[in-house]
Amino acid sequence: MNGIKIDGIKIAQKIKTQVRKKINLLKSEGIKPCLATILIGTNSASLTYIKKKHEACKEVGIATIDHKLPNTISQNDVNELINSLNKNNKVHGILVQLPLPKTLNRFETISHISPKKDVDGLTPYNLGMLTIGKKILTTCTPLGILEILDYYDIPIRGKNIVVINRTELIGKPLYSLLLSRDATVISCHSFTRNLKELCKIGDIIITAVGNRKKFVLTEDMVKDNAVVIDVAISKNHGKLVGDADFTQIIKKASYVSPVPGGVGPITVAMLLKNTIIAATL
Ligand SMILES: NC(=O)c1ccc[n+]([C@@H]2O[C@H](COP(=O)([O-])OP(=O)(O)OC[C@H]3O[C@@H](n4cnc5c(N)ncnc54)[C@H](OP(=O)(O)O)[C@@H]3O)[C@@H](O)[C@H]2O)c1
C-alpha cells in the first residue's frame, strides 16, 4: 500500500493565509512589516532563493529592501550595513543569505544582526534561547518541519526521530525543537556508524545531507509506516532531488515529503511568519 505524499505547497498556502491576516492587523495599527535581505556575491542558487523570498513577501504584503553586494565587500562594511538596518525602525527583519564568500566570517556577520530582527534564527542569542527552551525567533526549515508533522497530526511525543544533519541551520535547532516536544532524537552526521540500523528504528526520519554521492536514503533503511521528511535539495542529471528514493520509500512509509514541493515552500512561508513575529516584537 502506498503512503501519503506530503503537500508542501498546500501547507505553505495555509501559513500564508494566517500571515496575511496578521499583516492586516499590524497595518491597522500603523505597522507595515518590512524584511531587508543581504546577498553578497553572485552564487546562482542564492540569487534564486532571494528572488523567491522577495516574491513571497510581495504575495502577502510584506515590504522588502534588497541589498546586493559585491563579493569584494569588506567585513567592516557588511557589519556597518547590518548595524544601520538594526537601527532602522522601518525594518523588522534582517536576512543574510548564506553561504557567504570565503573572505567574510559567517559567525561575525550573523552575530551583528539584532536578535529581535533575526528572522533566520541564527544569532547566538536565538540559538541559545532555543536550546534552553525559550524560543523567540527560530530557524525557518526546522519550524517548517514541525508544521508538516502537526498539519498531518503525526505524533512526536515519545517517538524515535532520526535526524541526518547536525548543522546550525537544520540539525541543531531541529534537535532542540523535537526534544522540547518529548521526542527521542537521534542526531546523525558524516561520522555516524551503523546509519542504516539507526534509521530502521526511526518512527520519523528527517534527512538533510544534500549530496547523493555521499548518501541516499533507500527503502531498506526505512521501517514499515515510518514518516520520511526529505529536506535536501541537490541536482541529479539536471533534476532537483532530495536524499530519499521517493518512489520506493512511499510504497512502505506512511508519509513522505517530495523534492521539490515538500519542505522548500514551507521554509519560505516560515520566513514570512518570522518576519511578522519580528514586527510584533
Ligand atoms: N528545503 C529547504 O527549505 C532547505 C533549507 C536549507 C537547506 N536545504 C538543503 O538541505 C541540505 C543540507 O543543508 P546544510 O546547509 O545543512 O548542508 P551541509 O552544511 O553540507 O550539512 C550536511 C549535513 O549532512 C551530514 N552528512 C554529510 N555526509 C553524510 C553521510 N554520508 N552520512 C550522514 N550524514 C552526512 C553532514 O555531517 P557533518 O556535520 O559531519 O559534516 C552535515 O551535518 C542541502 O541539500 C540544502 O540545499 C533545504
Mean pLDDT, to the nearest integer, of 174-180? 97
Best residue for ligand 1 mutational test, from 167, 191, 192, 257 (most atoms within 8 Å of Cβ): 167
* Mean of all residue pLDDT scores within the chain: 97
Does residue 1 have a pLDDT over 70?
no
Does residue 227 have a pLDDT over 90?
yes
Q: Is 190 in the pocket of ligand 1 (CB under 6 A)?
A: yes
Q: Is 97 a catalytic residue?
A: yes
22-52 pLDDT, tens per residue? 999 999 999 999 999 999 999 998 999 999 9
Q: Is 204 left (phi over 0), alpha (psi -120 to 50) or beta?
A: beta
Mean pLDDT, to the nearest integer, of 93-100? 97
In order of 21, 56, 76, the CA distances from 52 in angstroms are 21, 6, 28
Q: Is 10 a catalytic residue?
A: no
What domains lie within the chain, and their CATH numbers?
A: 30-114 (3.40.50.10860), 139-264 (3.40.50.720)
Portion of the chain with pLDDT greater than 90, in percent: 96
What pLDDT score does 236 carry? Answer: 87
Output phi, psi for 235, to 5 deg: -110, 135
Q: What pTM value is reported for the model?
A: 0.96
What pLDDT score does 116 carry? Answer: 98
Q: Is 168 in the pocket of ligand 1 (CB under 6 A)?
A: no
Atom of ligand 1 nearest to the CA of 164: 34
Q: Identify the residue whose C-alpha is closest to ligand 1 atom 26.
A: 190
16, 117, 120, 135: the active-site residue: 120
pLDDT tier at 234, thresholds 50, 70, 90: very high
Sign of the torsion angle spanned by Cα atoms 164, 156, 128, 143? positive
Mean pLDDT, to the nearest integer, of 99-116? 97
Q: Identify the residue whose C-alpha is closest to ligand 1 atom 19.
A: 167
Q: Is 7 a catalytic residue?
A: no
Q: 44 has which bridge partners? A: none
